[in-house]
């Protein structure tokens, strides 16, 4: 019973860490990275489709992405989707490919991106703490309903706290890495 609760709590904490990784990958660091396009959806025959599923994406150098759609008819739609997104990059369409030049980031923009990353990290910490809270509540219910000894309750809550501390430390470490990456010139 308690093992199941611990397993669920750990799965939710891993989910929060995975979600943080996805959020961090969408933050632009001044280098061209195809992952910044993962969240951009293009209306492709009535279906919102990710750019990477309708085009080849290349990085010819550190500050340029080239998007080459397999269906040239969607060039305009991809360009509009990029303009409507919050990438902060202006695409140039030459009729066969879209070029996305990534200018080097200003100090102010770097600080804004670090704030954004800090927000993502805090959301992940909150999700981990919520998983802890729900696990502790489930443990308390198990003690009441199944008349488990209070020693087991305290031991299980201690394990949940250790798990929480482990994941919060991983989140903090991921944030430090991302902050260093964003602030790097």
Measured at the CA of 15, the angle between CA 166 and CA 155, to 5 degrees, comes to 40
Where in the sequence of the chain do the CATH 1.10.132.20 domains occur?
Answer: 2-25+106-183
The Cα 176–Cα 49 span in angstroms is 33
- Looking at domain 2-25+106-183, its CATH architecture is Orthogonal Bundle (1.10)
Instruction: Report the predicted TM-score, pTM, of the whole model to 2 decimal places.
Output: 0.71
In the chain, alpha helices (H): 2-25, 75-84, 107-146, 150-183
The Cα 66–Cα 45 span in angstroms is 23
- Residue 117 CB neighbour total at 10 angstroms: 22
Q: Residue 30 has what pLDDT?
A: 66
What CATH topology corresponds to 34-101? Gyrase A; domain 2 (3.30.1360)
Q: What is the dihedral of CA 9, 13, 14, 20, to 10 degrees?
A: 160
Q: Residue 185 has what pLDDT?
A: 65
Q: Residue 123 has what pLDDT?
A: 95
Structure tokens at 111: 């600080």
Q: Which residue matches tokens 């994406």?
A: 57
Residue 78's Cβ-count burial label (10 Å; 0-12, 13-18, 19+) is buried
| Mean pLDDT, 10 residues at a time, the chain of 185 residues | 87 93 78 78 87 88 87 88 82 88 82 91 95 92 82 90 95 93 79
Q: What is the DSSP letter of 31?
A: S
Q: What is the DSSP letter of 185?
A: -
Where in the sequence of the chain do the CATH 3.30.1360.40 domains occur?
Answer: 34-101
């Amino acid at each position: 019973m308690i093992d199941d609760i611990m397993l669920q709590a750990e799965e939710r904490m891993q989910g929060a860490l995975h979600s943080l990784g996805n959020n961090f990958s969408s933050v632009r660091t001044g280098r061209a990275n195809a992952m910044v396009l993962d969240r951009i959806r293009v209306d492709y025959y009535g279906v919102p489709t990710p750019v990477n599923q309708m085009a080849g994406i290349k990085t010819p150098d550190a500050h340029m992405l080239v998007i080459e759609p397999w269906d040239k008819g969607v060039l305009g739609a991809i360009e509009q989707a990029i303009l409507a997104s919050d990438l902060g990059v202006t695409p140039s369409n030459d009729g066969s490919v879209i070029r996305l030049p990534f200018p080097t980031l200003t100090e102010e923009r770097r600080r804004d991106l670090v704030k954004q990353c800090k927000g993502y990290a805090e959301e992940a910490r909150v999700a981990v703490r919520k998983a802890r809270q729900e696990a502790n509540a489930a443990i308390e219910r198990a003690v009441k309903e199944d008349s488990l000894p209070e020693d087991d309750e305290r031991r299980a809550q201690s394990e949940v706290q250790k798990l929480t501390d482990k994941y919060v430390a991983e989140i903090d470490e991921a944030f430090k890495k991302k902050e260093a990456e964003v602030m790097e010139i």
